[in-house]
Each structure stands twice: as C-alpha cells, then as structure tokens.
Chain A
Amino acid sequence: MSMHYFANPARFTRLAARIQPWAGGLAAILLLVGLYLALVVVPADYQQGDTVRIMFVHVPSAWMAMFCYSFLAVASAVGLIWKHPLADLAAKASAPIGAGFTFLALVTGSLWGKPMWGAWWVWDARLTSVLILFFLYLGYMALWQAIEDSQKAGKAAAVLALVGAVNVPIIKFSVDWWNTLHQPASVLRMDGPAIHPTMLWPLLIMALAFKAYFVALLLARMRMELNLRRIRALRLAERTS
C-alpha cells in the first residue's frame, strides 16, 4: 500500500467516517475509567498527598502537547516534500488540539506547582520550553489565518512548523540538560518506569484516552477542512462559469 493510498479524499472520508465514532467512544470510556481510578482508587501519596492526582491529567496533557507537535511537524514535512494533498490538512487540523493540550499542561502544572514548589510559575528550562511550544502553536495557527491563498499559507505554516520542531527534543531533554526544578522523566526511561504499577496503569489509561480523543477530533477537523476546500472550489467554479 503506497503512501498515496489515503491521498484520495473520497477514500479518506469513507475511512474517517468509520473510525471517528469508534475513536470517540473509546475516548469517552477510557476517560471515565481513568478519572475514576485517578480520583477515587489511587491512594494519596505519602509525600505529595492528594496533589499527586493532578499527575493523571498533567502528564498525559504534556505528552499530547509533544505528540501533537511531532505529528504536525511530520505532516508538514510530508506536505512540503511529497505534496501529499491531505498532509497540510492533517497538520492544520492537529494544531488547535495540540495548543489545547499544551495550555492544559501549563495550567495543571501550575496548579500542581503551587502546593508542591510554592510557586505558580518558575522560569525553569522545562516550563519555559513548553511555554515556547504553546506560542509556536499559536503562531502556526495565526499564519494559516493571515495568508489568504491556502496553498501559500500551508507552505509558510509548514516551514514554521519544521523550524519549531527543534523545540521538541529541547523539551524532552530539558530536565537532563539543565538543572531544573521540574522532575525528570519517570515513565519513558531507558531502564523502565520508576513509578509504581498502581499509578502507572491509571496514567496509561488516561494517556490512551487522550490519544483516542485526538484521533476522533483530528478526523472530524480534517473532514471539515476537506469540506471547506470543496466549498471554496465550488464557489470559485460558480464565479468563473
């Protein structure tokens, strides 16, 4: 199966229509289970008390912030290099979702930082690089808005997305490269997770819920963008005929 198999918009729409409700349903179920585990089942931490529950929304949000940007950057590269007709749309559709999760990672981090560090915000390498990520998302979306010709807008936005991709490894390794207040990774480590299974499972369920949510929303937004593109083409044909 070639990469251009899904380049056919009609085929994509059919496939998306089939996947979207399943992804949405899966997201809802996993979210309910995850919330129940995080808020009710998981015991309070002996050091952090009940604030540890914030981890179950903070960490998956932060993972999604990075995941969405990586997706956006790869889709932008595919759009630029192979002119894949759906790649630009996929990148554009993922931006608001990524911006949302980045915002949530920052806010929930702040709500966790205040009782544990004693500050809502510190200019630490991890926090600062995530704030930059949030502005990258906003800049990316603003660029799409600013340029009227959607082909030119897509190209400019893709270049911005690729330049901004440098920030992704910086975020990931910021906790190792700089001596920061933010704690280092405890799940995605070379020598296995340093987190107790009673907390790891709820965390993974929440992460999976967010992923399924992303898929459902991405497909809905891509179908919307495809429709808008078709509407523009029809209107243009009307004017010229």
Chain B
Amino acid sequence: MDGMGAFFAMGGYAGYVWPAFGIVLAVMAVLWITSIRGWHKSEQSLTALRGHRRQREGADE
C-alpha cells in the first residue's frame, strides 16, 4: 500500500479514527460559527436600536 493509502487506512481502524476526528472538528466548527454569528447579530441589532432611539430623540426636540 502506498503512503497516502496507508495513512487513510489507519491500520484497519479508519472506521473509528476518522469519524472521531471528524465529529470533533464538526462540533467545534458549528459551535464556533453559531457563537460568532450570534454575537455579530446582537451587535447589529444593538447598533440599529441605538440609532433608532437617537433619531427619535432628535425628532422630539
């Protein structure tokens, strides 16, 4: 077996090793994306809300 093939075969344990690493990276990526996206969204709505308030306060005067 060539080097690359042996690497992917994981000595016959490919069915255990790759899913283990795969799920770790998948869960970490999903947590990362949802956390960063949630934070960005909250930042945007806060800025929008503050802008809205300032505008209204300006109109009141």
Query: Are A and B co-members of a single complex?
Result: yes
Give A residues with C-beta under 8 Å from B. Answer: 35, 39-40, 44, 49-51, 53-54, 57-58, 61, 96-97, 100, 103-104, 107-108, 111-112, 114-115, 213, 217, 220-221, 223-224, 227-228, 230-231, 234-235, 238
Contacts of B19 in A (CB 8 A): 111
Residue in B closest to A225 when the chains form the complex, CB atoms: B42
Contact between B31 and A231 (Cβ–Cβ < 8 Å)? no
28 A-B pairs with CB atoms under 8 Å apart are: A39-B7, A40-B7, A44-B11, A49-B13, A50-B12, A50-B13, A53-B21, A54-B21, A96-B31, A97-B31, A100-B27, A104-B23, A111-B16, A111-B19, A112-B16, A115-B16, A217-B32, A221-B39, A223-B43, A224-B38, A224-B39, A227-B39, A227-B46, A228-B42, A230-B46, A231-B42, A231-B49, A234-B46
Contacts of B41 in A (CB 8 A): 224
Contact between B23 and A49 (Cβ–Cβ < 8 Å)? no
Given contacts A40-B7, A104-B24, A220-B36, contact A51 B16 (CB under 8 A): yes
- In the assembled complex, B55 has its CB within 8 A of some CB on chain A: no
Q: In residues 1-52 of chain B, which contact A (Cβ within 8 Å)? A: 7, 10-13, 16-17, 19-21, 23-24, 27-28, 31-32, 35-36, 38-39, 41-43, 45-46, 49-50
Contact between A217 and B23 (Cβ–Cβ < 8 Å)? no
Contact between A231 and B45 (Cβ–Cβ < 8 Å)? yes
Contacts of A57 in B (CB 8 A): 20-21, 24
Give B residues with C-beta under 8 Å from A. Answer: 7, 10-13, 16-17, 19-21, 23-24, 27-28, 31-32, 35-36, 38-39, 41-43, 45-46, 49-50, 53
Residue in B closest to A219 when the chains form the complex, CB atoms: B39
A108 to B13, CA, bound (A): 13
A25 to B23, CA, bound (A): 21
Contacts of A54 in B (CB 8 A): 16-17, 20-21
Partner of B24, one of A61, A115, A224: A61
**Shortest beta-carbon distance from A162 to chain B in Å:** 25
Contacts of A44 in B (CB 8 A): 11
Partner of A223, one of B27, B39, B50: B39
